[in-house]
């Protein structure tokens, strides 16, 4: 199936299309508060035309992204959204990363506040970019660094971040922006990678349009894939949209396994790899993990409800 980003050539424009219009990881209405939905800004012909124009002339997007002071992947993802909301003619970007303070204490910040011309209302949009690996037979989804847990992130989003406007201290900064009432949206993008043999229990709210991928321990990766498969070990900046690369950059399974083992011997955690066709277009991705992953007993605890 042809996706929007398959029509685009510039990787940052492909990332922009994926960040804003790929299927979300979770159905936000199923996370505990039916009044909180996913972002309602859908792909329209006008928005597709904007992306095609950017692909032909990406200077404005490149300049916007170059102004970032951090290379963190989550902030890159947010910057893509900020660009889209500022460029789109049917919305107005009112604020982003707006802190709420009580005296000298920061209670949190609004990821995005935008005005929707069609709905004639202000919207508080919380954004998250996440990648989790499921543990066999369990409802435990861990980040590749083992410090993050999907259930904890969902709880924090639903019970704290999206409810920031309920804090008394948020009234003044919102009124300064002319915001009296907020519709609330949560948009989580990313991928879930299921266990290789005994499947993990699916998380609540899993979006049907975002299918589960797989993770494999490195030895199984080496034996599981055939001789014709070609791979790219992805840098973190390549974790968003499916990649399109020069086929000469692709690796055989044997070579990818060798490089993965070298990195694991240096203490690296799981690596995301993309499987590509003969033209260098990605059609699948998975995580390759060190042997006996997750390593150690220091799994993040399940946070008790607030």
List, for residues 132-152, the tens digit of each pLDDT value.
999 999 999 999 999 999 999
Cα(25)–Cα(210) distance, integer angstroms = 6
Q: What is the pLDDT of residue 305?
A: 46
Q: What is the pLDDT of residue 103?
A: 84
Mean pLDDT, the chain, whole residue set: 93
Q: What is the pLDDT of residues 51-83, one digit of tens each?
A: 999 999 999 999 999 998 788 999 999 999 999
Runs of H (alpha helix) within the chain: 11-21, 45-56, 59-66, 73-87, 150-159, 171-176, 218-224, 253-265
Q: What is the pLDDT of residues 10-37, one digit of tens each?
A: 999 999 999 999 999 999 999 988 999 9
Domain ranges of the chain: 4-194, 213-289
Q: What is the pLDDT of residues 76-115, one digit of tens each?
A: 999 999 999 999 999 999 999 999 999 889 999 999 999 9
Q: How many whole angstroms from its chain centre is CA 271?
A: 16
Beta carbons within 8 Å of 66's beta carbon, 6+ residues apart: none
Cα(40)–Cα(92) distance, integer angstroms = 14
Q: Which two tokens stand for residue 254?
A: 């044997």
Q: What is the DSSP letter of 147?
A: S
Beta carbons within 8 Å of 88's beta carbon, 6+ residues apart: 41, 47, 50
């Amino acid at each position: 199936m042809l996706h929007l980003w398959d029509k685009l050539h510039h990787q940052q424009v492909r990332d922009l299309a994926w960040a804003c219009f790929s299927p979300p990881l979770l159905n936000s209405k199923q996370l505990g508060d039916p009044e909180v939905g996913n972002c309602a800004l859908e792909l329209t012909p006008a928005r597709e035309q904007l992306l095609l124009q950017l692909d032909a002339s990406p200077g404005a997007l490149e300049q916007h992204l170059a102004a970032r002071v951090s290379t963190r992947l989550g902030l890159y993802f947010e910057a893509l959204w900020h660009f889209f909301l500022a460029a789109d003619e049917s919305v107005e970007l009112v604020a982003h990363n707006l802190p709420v303070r009580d005296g000298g204490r920061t209670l949190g910040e609004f990821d995005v506040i935008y005005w929707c011309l069609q709905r004639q209302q202000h919207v508080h949009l919380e954004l998250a970019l996440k990648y989790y690996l499921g543990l066999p037979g369990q409802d435990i989804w861990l980040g590749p660094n083992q410090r993050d847990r999907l259930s904890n992130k969902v709880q924090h989003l639903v019970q704290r971040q999206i409810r920031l406007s309920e804090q008394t201290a948020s009234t003044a900064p919102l009124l300064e922006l002319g915001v009296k009432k907020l519709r609330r949206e949560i948009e989580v993008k990313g991928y879930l990678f299921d266990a290789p043999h005994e499947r993990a229990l699916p998380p609540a709210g899993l979006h049907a349009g975002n299918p589960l991928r797989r993770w494999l321990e490195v030895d199984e990766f080496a034996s599981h894939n055939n001789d014709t498969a070609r791979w790219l070990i992805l840098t973190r900046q390549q974790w968003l949209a499916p990649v399109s690369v020069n086929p000469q950059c692709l690796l055989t399974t044997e070579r990818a396994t060798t490089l993965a083992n070298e990195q694991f011997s240096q203490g690296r955690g799981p690596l995301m790899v993309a499987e590509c066709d003969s033209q260098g277009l990605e059609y699948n991705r998975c995580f390759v993990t060190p042997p006996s992953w997750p390593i150690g007993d220091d799994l993040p605890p399940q946070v008790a409800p607030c």
